[in-house]
Amino acid sequence: MSGERHPFRMPAEWEAHRGTWLSWPHKEASWPGGFGPVPGIFAEIVRHLSPHEEVHINVGDAALEDSARAALGAAGVPTDNVFFHPHPTNDAWCRDHGPIFVQRKTGERPEELILDWGYNAWGNKYPPFDLDDVVPTRIGAELGIPVISPGMVLEGGSIDLNGAGTLLTTEQCLLNPNRNPGLSRDQIEASLRAHLGVSNILWLGEGIEGDDTDGHIDDLTRFVDPVTVVTVVEDDRRDANYRPLRDNLERLQGMTDQDGTPLTVVEVPMPPALYREGQRLPASYANFYIANRVVLLPGFEPERDERARAVLQGLFPARKVIVIDCTDLVWGLGAIHCVTQQWPRLP
């Protein structure tokens, strides 16, 4: 079925979840000299998700499962709604290597599929990635869910959808020759339309400084309802992020959804520039995760965190926006959205 049109769609992140998938962290080299706090941050994520939806965690072996259980236990996190799966991984970025679920309802019977896009660790930057590349297919085999391989490299963090036919992405990432050098822009768009159930593809430009993913959309702009996006802006003209984020804002202000309705654009400030060992880190308030009844927002600096939290809380009145300190997590060049992948509930 690869490349064929089919009437499946990827639900928006705010639609009801059955659960959330994580891959438990174990690659210390992803947080050089700073891995120690990372499992505790994952435990904090699980703490806030598990009361509201299932949490499914990829662990490669019994030792890693024991380590995960120990971290959850040390944090006082109940595990009655947490499920461990024996799928080995190279790293912890489940947003990018995890399963993307699509759905359709034919008559009274809802169906779901898993999309197993190609995964090459953001343009062959961090080999090996062979285990991560097959995670979706392994999950599909375990759960008895059919799997389609679209035949194109795509990370989950590079796309954001409104669930009604519109998809946001960036030129820097999807058109980068380190992903799909044999595919044109038209061919990439055709694959997105065919597999994700979208008709309207919106292209932003460049990503933020320090982002090793080549401009993932989940550090820039996110749908919060079918016609509203939150986008990060930088007010300091001297900052490297000022111009690319201003360009993205100007593009968004001229964009519409699949029905021609102009997008409502809500601005959120960037965190203060965050450095470690002289390296600019990709800290962004756009890297939040929308779950059942909660929104998990990465925190980097209390005063700016509260400004971002207040904006999101106004946009999600039925959910509690919770800030989780991610200053140690982002040393791995990602935050909360980067380590989570939603499993939509079947209608």
The catalytic residues are 338
- For the record, the structure tokens of 66 come out as 């024991």
- For the record, the structure tokens of 120 come out as 């090459």
- For the record, the structure tokens of 55 come out as 């949490």
Name which of 266, 267, 268, 336 is nearest 304 in CA terms.
268
Cis bond upstream, residue 272 (ω within 30): no
Instruction: Give bridge partners of residue 267 from the DSSP assignment.
Output: 231
In SS3 terms, the chain reads as: CCCCCCCCECCCCCCCEEEEEEECCCCHHHCCCCCCCHHHHHHHHHHHHCCCCEEEEECCCHHHHHHHHHHHHHCCCCCCCEEEECCCCCCCCHHHHCCEEEEEEECCEEEEEEECCECCHHHHCCCCCHHHHCHHHHHHHHHCCCEECCCCECCHHHCEECCCCEEEEEHHHHCCCCCCCCCCHHHHHHHHHHHHCCCEEEEECCCCCCCCCCCCHHHCEEEEECCEEEEEECCCCCCCCHHHHHHHHHHHCCCECCCCCECEEEEEECCCCCEECCEECCCCCCCCEECCCEEEEEECCHHHHHHHHHHHHHHCCCCEEEEEECCCHHHHCCCHHHHCEEEECCC
Sign of the CA dihedral with 195 first, then 200, 203, and 204 last: negative
Instruction: Give bridge partners of residue 57 from the DSSP assignment.
Output: 22, 84
Q: Using only the alpha carbons of the chain, give its radius of gyration.
A: 19
